[in-house]
Structure 1
Amino acid sequence: MRAVLAAPPPTLLVIAKEPVPGRVKTRLTPACTPEQAAELAEAALADTLATLSQVPAGRRLLVLDGAPGRWLPPGWEVAAQCAGGLDARLAAAFALADPHAPALLVGMDTPQLAAATLAEPLAAARRGGADAWYGPAADGGFWALGLARPEPALARRLLLGVEMSTARTGERLLARLAAEGLTVHRLPELVDVDTVDDAERVAALAPGGRFAARWQAVRATAPAGRR
């Protein structure tokens, strides 16, 4: 019991781009305009931040490419992303966390994420024995990566050189985790919003969220041939 009470609360990290037309959710076009794609990205990011605001944490940190906007809720720190590929930016995000407390990183593409999906496995009473947390994405990537001890060198060994956004990205990351001898707690598989079909599925999974509301608004105004 003393160990549970003394366990440090986790750091929650979100890596994201500022929702600017033409820079985010480009695979939703041309079915959506760049402006609509950016509105959907903003809604997804707002849902993600709101959900993680409900998960007990010591720190909540948005690692952002761009500038924060009205979608940023209270209680979040903001840090700029480093330069480089996504593998380097993900690894660098872990360097912002306390290396003696767990850290979990998610992206902005899973607005259907529920707070309990993270709160339960990250609770001090439940996380004993876990060295890492891994959330697989339906497209073969991953939507979450957590480390019980997020030392920067470990994050670099796990992530640098892993080709991102492919059907084998998750498989390669899991191989790196296994090579480090880490005990991995698998989180549920989620759908990343990349395409119009993804957006339809995710909106149906979380119909009460900002993303679903924005998606319905986009569908209602789209020409019949683009729905």
Structure 2
Amino acid sequence: MQLLLLAKAPLPGRVKTRLCPPWTPQQAADLAAAAIADTVEVLTAVPAAARTLVADGPLAAPPGWARIAQRGDGLGERLAAAFADTARPGVATLLVGMDTPQLGVADVIAAAAALAHADAVLGPAEDGGWWTLALRDPAAAAVLPAVPMSSSDTFARTRAALTARGLRVTTTATLRDVDTAPDADAAAAARPGTRFARTLTALRTAA
């Protein structure tokens, strides 16, 4: 199993803009940076054949990680390219994004383990999207550009597209993406010890 982290450089005005208000663009960027750091820490703790940061913008690879640039016009194309550009013969791939700082090691291990009895594993997000996709054969990600992303039915459409390709698809735990201020509060409450939670607390204290 190899692990991918799809992430955007935490630059003010380019990330987590739906957190503004109540937070400023710089504060939203600080929360994004904390979310990335938390996710890197979790993925580094999970046994893997390789770990790759799939970056949009000036974001350096963590120690021991590879780095590639995102490519493609839309999110679906970028996701498909991430799987294609990192594919290794006979090695499954699990991808997560930077939007679930409450993610734990057990969540990733459970998603990876589910591939033992499936060709694809999807982790539903509460907003109708998904927070992880694991593929026994990374080439199956070729279906993603045709799936509308950031929609209330993205999970359902992704599952349908994978099934139509002939894959056995199973699901893993449901998580909540951090898009809005209430999402951020919920993620911090789910894992109070994370950098994300500490950053959010510091912002509130300074306000």
After TM superposition, is the score higher than 0.5?
yes
Structure 1: distance between partners of 2:121 and 2:63: 26
Residues 118-133 of structure 1: matches in 2 within 5 Å?
118-123=108-113, 127-133=115-121
Structure 1: distance between partners of 2:122 and 2:110: 14
The SS at the match of 1:128 is helix
* Residue 144 of structure 1 pairs with residue 132 of structure 2: yes
Structure 1: distance between partners of 2:202 and 2:55: 27
Match of 2:57 in 1: 66
Residues 22-33 of structure 1: matches in 2 within 5 Å?
22-33=13-24
Q: Does the 8 Å CA contact 2:8/2:59 hold for their aligned counterparts?
A: no
The runs of 4+ residues in structure 1 deviating greater than 4 Å are none
Q: Does the 8 Å CA contact 1:47/1:211 hold for their aligned counterparts?
A: yes
Structure 2: distance between partners of 1:120 and 1:165: 24
Q: Does the 8 Å CA contact 2:162/2:169 hold for their aligned counterparts?
A: yes
- State the one-letter code of the partner of 1:76: W
The SS at the match of 1:27 is helix
Structure 2: distance between partners of 1:168 and 1:129: 25
Task: Give CA-to-partner distance per residue, 1:39-62, whole Å, 9 cap, x none.
Answer: 000000000010000111000000
Structure 2: distance between partners of 1:35 and 1:203: 19
The one of 79, 93, 103 equivalent to 1:90 is 79
More helix as a share of residues: 2
Q: Does the 8 Å CA contact 2:147/2:161 hold for their aligned counterparts?
A: no
Identical amino acids, percent of aligned pairs: 52
The one of 4, 19, 26 equivalent to 1:13 is 4
Structure 1: distance between partners of 2:195 and 2:170: 29
Structure 2 residues without counterparts, runs of 5 or longer: none
**Bigger-Rg structure (1/2):** 1
* Residue 41 of structure 1 pairs with residue 27 of structure 2: no
Structure 2: distance between partners of 1:170 and 1:47: 24
Structure 2: distance between partners of 1:121 and 1:87: 21
TM-score normalised to structure 1 length: 0.87
- State the one-letter code of the partner of 1:141: G
Query: How many pairs align?
Result: 206
TM-score normalised to structure 2 length: 0.95
The Cα of 1:180 is off from its aligned counterpart by: 1.7
* Residue 203 of structure 1 pairs with residue 192 of structure 2: no
